[in-house]
Amino acid sequence: MNFNEEFSLLLRACYPLIYLPTNEEERAEKAIAKLVEDIATATEKLGKRNIYIWDFVNGYQENPNYVGFGKRNPLQALEFITKMPKNAGGIFILRDFQRFLEDIAVSRELRNLARILKSQPKNIIIIAPKVQIPEELTEVITVLEFALPTVAEIKTEIERLISATGQSLSEQLLDELVRAAQGLSLERIRRVLTRAIATNGKLEPDDVELILEEKRSSIRQTQILDYYPATEQISDIGGLDNLKSWLLRRGGAFSAQARAYGLPNPRGLLLVGIQGTGKSLTAKAIAHHWHLPLLRLDVGRLFAGLVGESESRTRQTIELAEALAPCILWIDEIDKGFAGIDGKGDSGTTSRVFGTFMTWLAEKKTPVFVVATANNIRALPPEMLRKGRFDEIFFVGLPNQSEREAIFKVHLAKLRPHNLGNYDAKRLAYETPEFSGAEIEQTIIEAMHIGFSQHRDFTTDDILEAASQIVPLAKTAQEQIEFLQNWVAAGKARLASKNNNLSDRIQSQLN
């Protein structure tokens, strides 16, 4: 159900205390006012309900008989509700009231009101930027999500703004502006478009980038998600042919044609392997190839000190990702973020956040493609590996010789595109067994330092000299790699590479 349907249902079901976590106070109040009016018109049983708005600075507003009542006194604001006639309908909107819920008198009065209002045509609505409810009130307060503006709302707002300029937008530009504005509040959309109109006197195609910059700024302010510019391409990935084929087949899976064909939205994939094998690079390349925005989530940022804040941040992250859909949500090193899932030492916060996230992964309908990477499979709980969370789990192992050759060519082509023929990529691949992609890149950088210090270009021999000084992770983390290979050989994941030494091992076990 959407907000309108859920709010209407809660009013009809006489829910006394409703909590709306949103930064869009003005939009929420307008939506409530319209819904209350529509419900009163459509359902005579509920009758007309007046709306009373209170805040700490100004007290009650709107009604001239009560202007200023309860100013700087949250307990008096609640007592006002108890003094209203029993049969008088009312919606009481309390702004930023979460700051007073810890007060024992306010908490007690709310619990008293929760009992009284069940039989009266009254509802208390708390509008606050985030969920902050003390434990003793969790049973009487119902949290109702107020999502960011829909595509239709954004389109209506843009059309309203441009109507004042007399400008006529093409359908293509209007669609681009709407798509760029997804994930922003209406207030931010108004600000950035008003700025664009004030600058040029009208909206232009270049203003799409202005909106995107506002979006990047908005996402940075959450301090949870990062908006990544995806410039890497599929061709930048050396090897991983199975994984690349899988991704290329799903290139058009978010299109309207795919929906008409009956295809569901792709859910995502889990990339498992040791560090430096190209898992993060793959996430960036997917976003670029599919032309979708890339959001990076650091799971550690979800956890906060205040009770309930971690869960609130998780819901905020999910809401923002869904508002930006279709998009790529990249969760790097998810195994570290959800370590200690047994909840020891954190009152079960990690378990609750993990549970919320897993439920969303399994039930999400919006086109948010989740790319999660993990190095330590032992740290992942079994629930994450269950079918239905991700479309597929891929093992990204150490590159074989032909893949190492491809990786050398990718890096050298970027650094010396006109002199690529001067380097023997085949020999380099042969001389660097068990090197990961990251180690190959570091080897080339070290070779460049050698050449630069001697005032000449670096050579194949310089790269080989640099390689001889590097101890690959395959040797220092041998136990971890063997565990991963045994796990994959047991059929727990698909191989990202076609030609891999592990393929022969798996085939021999199957035989």
Instruction: Extract the tokens encoding 354.
Output: 């993990």
The torsion of the CA quartet 202, 206, 212, 214, rounded to 10 degrees, works out to: -50
Lowest mean pLDDT among 145-154, 167-176, 229-238: 229-238
Query: What's the pLDDT band for 504 if we cut at 50, 70, 90?
Result: very low
Are residues 407 and 380 part of one domain?
A: no
Instruction: Extract the tokens encoding 473.
Output: 């992770």
* Alpha carbons 362 and 322: distance in angstroms, whole number: 14
- Is this model's pTM higher than 0.85 or not? no
Instruction: Extract the tokens encoding 308.
Output: 């309930």
**Within a domain: residue 375?**
yes
Return the HEC string of 370-409. EEEEECCHHHCCHHHHCCCCCCEEEECCCCCHHHHHHHHH
* Alpha carbons 207 and 359: distance in angstroms, whole number: 37
Average pLDDT on 228-244 reads: 83
Report the pLDDT value the prediction gives residue 386, as an integer from 0 to 100.
79
Are residues 352 and 462 part of one domain?
A: no
Are residues 467 and 382 part of one domain?
A: no
**Within a domain: residue 190?**
yes
The pLDDT tens digits for 439-473 are 999 999 999 999 999 999 999 999 999 999 988 88
Query: What's the pLDDT band for 130 if we cut at 50, 70, 90?
Result: confident
Lowest mean pLDDT among 27-31, 63-67, 327-331, 434-438: 63-67
Sign of CA dihedral 188, 191, 197, 200: negative
Name the domain boundary from 189, 222, 255: 222
Are residues 264 and 198 part of one domain?
A: no
Task: Write down the mean pLDDT value for the chain.
Answer: 86
Average pLDDT on 307-327 reads: 80
Average pLDDT on 96-107 reads: 94
Are residues 132 and 155 part of one domain?
A: no
Are residues 179 and 31 part of one domain?
A: no
What CATH number corresponds to the domain at position 441?
1.10.8.60
* Alpha carbons 293 and 303: distance in angstroms, whole number: 24
Domain span at 448: 401-433+437-471
**Comparison of pLDDT for 511 and 422, the residue scoring more:** 422
- Structural element, H or E, at residue 262: none
Are residues 370 and 420 part of one domain?
A: no
Report the pLDDT value the prediction gives residue 336, as an integer from 0 to 100.
81
Are residues 381 and 270 part of one domain?
A: yes
pLDDT at 119 over 60: yes
pLDDT at 506 over 70: no
Average pLDDT on 413-435 reads: 92
Nearest CA to 405 out of 430, 381, 372 is that of: 430
Are residues 113 and 31 part of one domain?
A: yes
**Comparison of pLDDT for 95 and 361, the residue scoring more:** 95
Report the pLDDT value the prediction gives residue 211, as an integer from 0 to 100.
86
pLDDT at 308 over 70: no
* Alpha carbons 76 and 449: distance in angstroms, whole number: 72
Nearest CA to 277 out of 435, 50, 100, 159 is that of: 435
Name the domain boundary from 143, 174, 201: 143
Average pLDDT on 265-285 reads: 87
What CATH number corresponds to the domain at position 343?
3.40.50.300
**Within a domain: residue 44?**
yes
- Structural element, H or E, at residue 123: strand 122-128
Are residues 73 and 39 part of one domain?
A: yes
Dump the DSSP string for 319-383: HHHHHT-SEEEEETTHHHHTTTTT-TTTTTHHHHHHHHHHHHHHH--S-EEEEEEES-GGGS-HH
Nearest CA to 268 out of 393, 396, 395 is that of: 393
Are residues 30 and 130 part of one domain?
A: yes
What is the number of structural domains in the chain? 4
What percentage of the chain has pLDDT greater than the value 70? Answer: 94
Dump the DSSP string for 422-491: GS-HHHHHHT-TT--HHHHHHHHHHHHHHHHHTTS---HHHHHHHHHT---HHHHTHHHHHHHHHHHHTT
**Comparison of pLDDT for 303 and 145, the residue scoring more:** 145
What CATH number corresponds to the domain at position 214?
1.10.8
Query: What's the pLDDT band for 66 if we cut at 50, 70, 90?
Result: confident
Instruction: Extract the tokens encoding 457.
Output: 């270009």
